[in-house]
Amino acid sequence: MRFRLQASIRVSVHPLLVCLLALSAFPLGAVKLQILEGRPIVDGVYVNGSGPYRFLIDTGSNVNLIETGLARKIGMIPTFHVELASTAGNATAKILTPGTDGNQIELGAVKAGGQKFLISSLEAIHHLSPGIQGVLGQWFFSGFDYILDLRARRLEFGKQERAGTRSPFTMINARPVVATSLGDLALDSGSASLVLFGIQPDPDSDPRTELRTLSGSQRVGMVSGRPLIIEGRKVWGGSAVAMPLRNEPGVDGLMPLSLFKSIYVCNSERYVLFN
């Protein structure tokens, strides 16, 4: 049996400038989520006044994406091209992808202007659900403080004072990265499993496991007995996907947010609270 695991998307260029809505100092309301195989999906996304559309919420992607057919339907015209890479890619697995800027996104009570989208067939994401029409990544989310509550299935925007241990994060390739016992891991709501880079898989792991991304797929293995500890607290222990290649300097792997009940990301002060 062959296993397929999704991984998040990144762009192999310097982070592009994005005009975002100013960070709010008060709650801006909540929207309902669906959770599919641990990944959050929202149905209420409007793009340039059209919608609502179903989008995957992917905090591990440093870009927004929109389905090719939908982009054409609402009149999006490409204004730039970038090389699309992924955590499972290699030096040759890069795709020149069209993009469009100057767009507006509305989700619940929030709006963000000056948004960029990459235009893609979303073939890999359609393996998760054929109804997904786009991806909201860090081009959108980095402009907000927000709570991603996977247990209550809701996303709430706005700054809040919440109790708990604050874990600082840094932005690497425009993605939030937190220090852990397993290295510096990107916060990734779009990943199904914990993924570790530069790690050889266990000799007896299934060699048919496949990590699928927008730029292709890669055979990977598994590694066991790796406890995940954050700020002195053990939050997980089990098997992780092991990728022998390390394609992203400064990032040691991907941490799926499905490991937690909820996550508060405070972009205005650069910390995250895990619950």
Q: pLDDT digits over 225-275, tens only?
A: 889 999 999 999 999 999 888 878 899 999 999 999 999 999 999 999 999
Percent with pLDDT over 70 in the chain: 81
How far, in Å, are 3, 11, 98, 107, 214 from residue 92 at the CA level?
A: 24, 14, 18, 36, 14
Closest C-alpha to 30, from 112, 187, 140, 147: 147
Dihedral angle of Cα 102, 108, 109, 110, to the nearest 10 degrees: -30
CA distances from 193 to 124, 203, 208, 264 (A): 16, 19, 16, 20
Q: Provide the H-helix boundaries in 77-236.
A: 123-126, 138-141
CA distances from 250 to 19, 60, 183, 198 (A): 26, 14, 9, 12
Locate tokens 């996977």: which residue? Answer: 150
Share of the chain above pLDDT 90, in %: 69
- Separation CA 213–CA 37 (nearest Å): 16
- Burial (CB count <10 Å: 0-12, 13-18, 19+), residue 146: buried
Q: Which residue bears the tokens 């947010």?
A: 257
Which pLDDT belongs to residue 197? 93
- Retrieve residue 209's tokens: 């496991």
Flag whether pLDDT at 22 surpasses 70. Answer: no
Q: Of 33-37, 82-86, 231-235, 247-251, where does mean pLDDT reach its minimum?
A: 82-86
Residue type present at position 231: E
Q: Minimum mean pLDDT among 49-58, 81-90, 127-136, 206-215: which range?
A: 206-215
Pairing mode, strands 233-236 and 228-230: antiparallel
**Two tokens at 144?**
């907000």
In a 3-state reduction of DSSP, which class is residue 9?
strand
Partners of 235 in the beta sheet? none
Q: Are 253 and 196 in contact (CB under 8 A)?
A: yes
Q: Are strands 271-274 and 233-236 parallel, antiparallel or unpaired?
A: unpaired
User: Which of 72, 32, 73, 37 has its CA nearest to residue 54?
Assistant: 32
Q: What is the pLDDT of residue 154?
A: 96
